Amino acid sequence: MENLHHIVVVGGGAGGLELVTRLGNKLGKKRKARITLVDAGLTHVWKPLLHEVASGSLDASANEINYRAHASKHHYEFQLGRMADLDQIGRNVIIAPFLDQEGNEVVPERRIHYDTLVIAVGSNANDFGTPGAQDHCIFLDSLPQARRFHNRLLNAFLRKNYEADCDASHDLPITIIGAGATGVELAAELRLASRELPVYGMNHLRPEDISITVIEAADRILPALPPRISAAATRELEHQNVKVLTGQPVNEITDSTVVMKDGTELDSEMTIWAAGIKAPEFLSKLEGLDTNKGNQVRVRQTLQATTSDNVFAFGDCAECPQPDSDMPVPPRAQAAHQQADTLFKTLCNRLDGKEAVPFVYNDHGSLINFSRYTTVGNLMGNLSGRSMYIEGKVARLFYTSLYRMHQVALHGMLRTGIIWLMDRISRAMQPKLKLH
Q: Are residues 285 and 220 in the same domain?
A: no
d(CA 69, CA 78): 9
d(CA 289, CA 297): 7
Pairing of strands 242-246, 210-216: parallel
Per-residue pLDDT, 337: 95
Q: Of 322, 351, 380, which residue is a domain's last?
A: 351
Number of H helices, E strands in the chain: 10, 27
Whether residue 359 is contained in a domain is answered as: no
Per-residue pLDDT, 385: 54
- For 62-133, strand residue ranges (E) read 65-66, 77-80, 83-87, 92-95, 98-99, 105-107, 110-113, 116-119, 124-125
Q: Are residues 263 and 154 in the same domain?
A: yes
Give the single-character DSSP code of 323: T
Give the single-character DSSP code of 327: S
Whether residue 436 is contained in a domain is answered as: no
Q: Of 221, 255, 276, which residue is a domain's last?
A: 276
Q: Are residues 260 and 149 in the same domain?
A: yes
| Domain extent for 374 | 365-429
Query: Which residue, among 77, 75, 71, has the nearest Cα to 30 in the 3D structure?
Result: 75
Please report, in tens digits, the pLDDT of each residue of the chain (436 residues total). Answer: 568 999 999 999 999 999 999 999 999 999 999 999 999 999 999 998 899 999 888 888 878 999 999 999 999 999 999 999 999 999 999 999 988 888 899 889 999 999 999 999 999 999 999 999 999 999 999 999 999 999 999 999 999 999 988 988 889 999 999 999 999 999 999 999 888 877 777 778 888 899 999 999 999 999 988 899 999 999 999 999 999 999 989 999 999 999 999 999 999 999 999 999 999 999 999 989 999 999 999 999 999 999 999 999 999 999 999 988 889 999 988 999 999 999 999 999 999 999 999 999 998 888 888 877 788 888 875 444 567 778 877 787 888 888 888 989 999 999 899 988 888 887 777 776 666 6
Q: Are residues 138 and 264 in the same domain?
A: yes
Q: Are residues 192 and 302 in the same domain?
A: no
CA dihedral of residues 328, 333, 335, 336 (deg, nearest 10): 100
Whether residue 193 is contained in a domain is answered as: yes
Whether residue 317 is contained in a domain is answered as: yes
Q: Are residues 137 and 183 in the same domain?
A: yes
Q: Of 211, 245, 276, which residue is a domain's last?
A: 276
Overall number of domains in the chain: 3
296 by Cβ neighbours in 10 Å (0-12 / 13-18 / 19+) ranks as buried
Is residue 46 within 8 Å of residue 14, measured between CB atoms? yes
Query: Which residue, among 133, 148, 146, has the nearest Cα to 257 in the 3D structure?
Result: 133
Query: If you write DSSP's letter for every residue of 146-187 in order, what string do you get?
Result: HHHHHHHHHHHHHHHHHHHHTT----EEEEEE--SHHHHHHH
pTM above 0.75, yes or no: yes
Alpha helices in 76-226 (DSSP H): 133-136, 143-165, 181-196
Q: Are residues 118 and 138 in the same domain?
A: no
Whether residue 32 is contained in a domain is answered as: yes
Q: How many CA atoms lie within 13 A of 147 on its CB side?
A: 9
Per-residue pLDDT, 384: 44
Whether residue 376 is contained in a domain is answered as: yes
Whether residue 1 is contained in a domain is answered as: no
Q: Are residues 94 and 154 in the same domain?
A: no
Q: Are residues 232 and 306 in the same domain?
A: no
Whether residue 358 is contained in a domain is answered as: no
Q: Are residues 140 and 265 in the same domain?
A: yes
Q: Are residues 99 and 138 in the same domain?
A: no
d(CA 297, CA 320): 9
Q: Are residues 238 and 200 in the same domain?
A: yes
What's the helix, strand, coil split of the chain in %, to 5?
Answer: 35, 25, 40
CATH code where residue 206 lies:
3.50.50.60
